[in-house]
Chain A
Amino acid sequence: MFVKQISVFMENRAGRLEEITGILAENRINIRALALADTSDFGILRLIVDSPDRAAEILRKAEFTVRENEVIATEIEDKPGGLHEILTLFSKAGISIEYMYAFLERKHEDRAVMIIRVEAAAKAVKILQDAGKHLLTAAETYTL
C-alpha cells in the first residue's frame, strides 16, 4: 500500500542538488519523481527512485543525511478536478496532508500519480480504496 521515499537534508547552496543527481546517475539509479521543499537556509529533497534501498545506502556513504519514509502513491485522472476529488475525500475525513507532489504515468497517458504524505496513513489508504482509487504498489511505482 505504501511506497518508499528517500528524503535528503540539503543546505541551500549552489551545486548541492547537482551533486546528488550526479551520485544517482553514476550508480544508474533512476529518479521517478522528486520534490524539493526549502527555507532560506536548508532544503529537503524528496525522491522516489527505482531502487530506494540502494540509493539510500549510496547517499549515506556519500555522507548525506538520509531518511526513508513510507508515502502513499495513488492514481488520479489527468483531467480538471482529478486532484480535487481526492482532496475532498481527505478534507471530509479530517485528514491533513503533510506534503504531496505529482508525476505523470508513462503507461496510461490519462493518469497522473500523486505522492502523498499524511499522518493518518492507514485511514487515508482506506478512504482512497473505498473510493475505488488505485494505490500503486512499490514495484509498480519504481518501474513506471
Chain B
Amino acid sequence: MHKNENLSPDALRALQTERLQKVTRHVYENVKYYGSVFDKLGMTPEDMKSLEDLRSLPLTDKETLRLHYPFGMFAVPMAEIKEIHASSGTTGKPTVVAYTESDLRVWSEVMARSIACAGGTAEDIIQNAYGYGLFTGGLGVHYGALELGAAVVPMSSGGTQRQLQLMQDFGTTILTCTPSYSVYMAEQARAAGMDPRHSTLRIGILGAEPWSEGLRREIESAWDIKAYDIYGLSEIIGPGVAMECPGQDGLHVWADHFYPEVIDPDTLRPVPDGSDGMLVITTLTKRATPFLRYATKDIVSLTHAACPACGRTAPRISRIKGRTDDMLIIRGINVFPSQIETVLMGIKETLPHYQIIVTREGALDELEVQVEVNEKVFSDEIRGLEALEKRIRREIENVLSIAVKVKLVEPKTITRSEGKAKRVIDNRKL
C-alpha cells in the first residue's frame, strides 16, 4: 500500500492543498481558458488558500474541452507531451487528453495501486481485455501492471475463443475487462465445454461501464473469483481514479492525485457525505491536461470514513448510480444520443425522429436505432429502404466505433412526450 493511501485526514488535506496551489498556478499561467476564468472572477492562484476555495470556480466539462479542441487545454508545450488519447465527445469532436512523462508515471502508479488494492501482486498474470488504442482502458491497465511488476498479456478486447484458450494455457490469474464481457466470456467458456469455475482466474478488475451488486454476484459465482469495480475516465487520467478493496463497499479514490467533490447537479452546492450527487474531480498532479473541477456527470455518494475492511483512509465513492446527462455506456464505449442525431441529420434526407433502444442480449449490450420513415426517404422498393438502413448503420458505426442495429419504423412509432421526445430506452438490467 502506498503511504498516501492511508494518510490521516489532516495530512491528506495538507498534501491536497499544497498540490492544488501548485496545479492552480500551473493552469493559470499555461492554459488561456483558466487564465481568463481567474481574471473574470478577479482571483489569482494565491486566492486558493484551502480546498474549499475551489468552490468559487466554475466546472470544467466535455463542452469546455470541445470548445478548445484539440489542444487548447494543454498546459505544456508539445515537446513535453508523450501520449495523446481521445474519448467520445457529445457531438462530432472527440474529447482530447494528453500525458507528459510525469503524467504517465502517475497513471502507472495509480493503476498499480488499484491492482494491488484488489489483491494483485507481481506474481499475477494479468489478461488485459480492455481495448488498446485511443480508449484509455487498455493502456492504463497495461502501465499499472508493468509498474506493479505483474505479467501482462495485452489481449485487447474481443476474440473470445482466443482469450479463453490463452487464459487456460497461460494460467491467467487476473482478468481486466468490462463486467459484461466477463459474463460473456464465462458463457462462451461453458459453451466450449470449459468450466469457468475451474479456471486459474482469481480476481476480476472490472469497469468502464455501470454494473450492480447482482451482476457482481453472478460474475463471482460464474468464475469462482472476486470481482472488483474500478473507476476512471480519460479526462481525469483513465482507469485508476478509484478502486474497490476486498471490503467491496465503495471505491477508494486516490485523493492525493484526484480531489473529489460531490455536488448537487442543479444547485451546484456540495452535498453531505453519504448523499447522492455529481462527482466533480480536480486533478492535483497532472501536467499535460490538468482540469480544475471537472464535472464527471456521474452520480455517486462520497464517504470519508476510514474503511473497515482494508483500513485505508482514502475516501470512498459509491458505485456509479447514474448520470446527470444522457450518456450511455455500450460495451465500455461512451455513446451520446446527440452523436447519433448528428449522423441522422447529416444524411441528406431529414430524419428527425429516432429512438435508441439498449438491451442486453445474454451478456452483451445491443444498441438499436429506430428511425421513422417519412415520405422524403420512403422508396417503394425494398432495396431502396434496405440501402437507406445500411447507410444509416454504416455512418453511425463510423462515428461510434461499435456495431449497431438500425430499424426503420413507421411514423409516430416513437413516443413524443410534451415537447421533448424520449430518445433513449434502456432495457438493460444491470
Contacts and interface: CB of A to CB of B under 8 A. Distances in A.
Contact size class for A?
20 to 34
Given A7-B378, A65-B378, A41 B407 contact: yes
Given A9-B373, A66-B375, A67-B375, A44 B380 contact: yes
Contacts of B381: 37, 44, 98-99
Given A39-B386, A42-B385, A44-B385, A69 B380 contact: yes
Which among B380, B410, B412 has the greatest number of chain A C-beta atoms within 10 A?
B380
A10 interface: yes
Interface in B374-430: 374-375, 378-382, 385-386, 407-413
A44 B380 CA distance: 7
B169 to A, nearest CB: 41
A98 B410 CA distance: 23
Contacts of B375: 65-67
A4 interface: no
Contacts of A66: 375, 378
A70 to B, nearest CB: 11
Interface residues of B, number: 17
B410 A64 contact: yes
Interface in A36-81: 37-39, 41-42, 44, 46, 63-67, 69
Given A10-B410, A11-B410, A65-B375, A39 B382 contact: yes
A117 B384 CA distance: 14
17 contacts: A9-B385, A9-B408, A11-B410, A37-B381, A39-B382, A41-B408, A42-B373, A44-B380, A63-B410, A63-B411, A64-B410, A65-B373, A65-B411, A66-B375, A69-B380, A99-B381, A117-B380
Which among A41, A63, A117 has the greatest number of chain B C-beta atoms within 10 A?
A41
Nearest to A71: B380
B380 A67 contact: yes
Interface residues of chain A: helix, strand, loop or mixed (majority): strand
Nearest to A37: B382
A115 B411 CA distance: 28
In the A-B complex, the 4 residue pairs with the smallest Cβ-Cβ separation, listed nearest first, are: A7-B380, A63-B412, A65-B378, A9-B373
Contacts of A7: 378, 380
B381 to A, nearest CB: 6
Which among A38, A42, A67 has the greatest number of chain B C-beta atoms within 10 A?
A42
Given A9-B373, A67-B375, A44 B382 contact: yes
A42 B410 CA distance: 9
Interface in A15-52: 37-39, 41-42, 44, 46
A99 B380 CA distance: 10
Nearest to B386: A39
B374 A46 contact: no
Contacts of A117: 380
Contact of A65 (B374, B382, B407): B374
Contacts of A38: 382
A40 to B, nearest CB: 10
Contacts of B374: 65
A33 to B, nearest CB: 15
Which among A41, A65, A66 has the greatest number of chain B C-beta atoms within 10 A?
A65
Contacts of B412: 63
Given A9-B373, A39-B386, A44-B385, A65 B380 contact: no
A131 B156 CA distance: 67
Contacts of A11: 409-410, 413
A123 to B, nearest CB: 19
A52 B411 CA distance: 21
A23 to B, nearest CB: 14
A11 B410 CA distance: 6
B359 to A, nearest CB: 16
Contacts of B378: 7, 9, 65-67
A137 to B, nearest CB: 22
Contacts of B379: 67
B410 A65 contact: yes
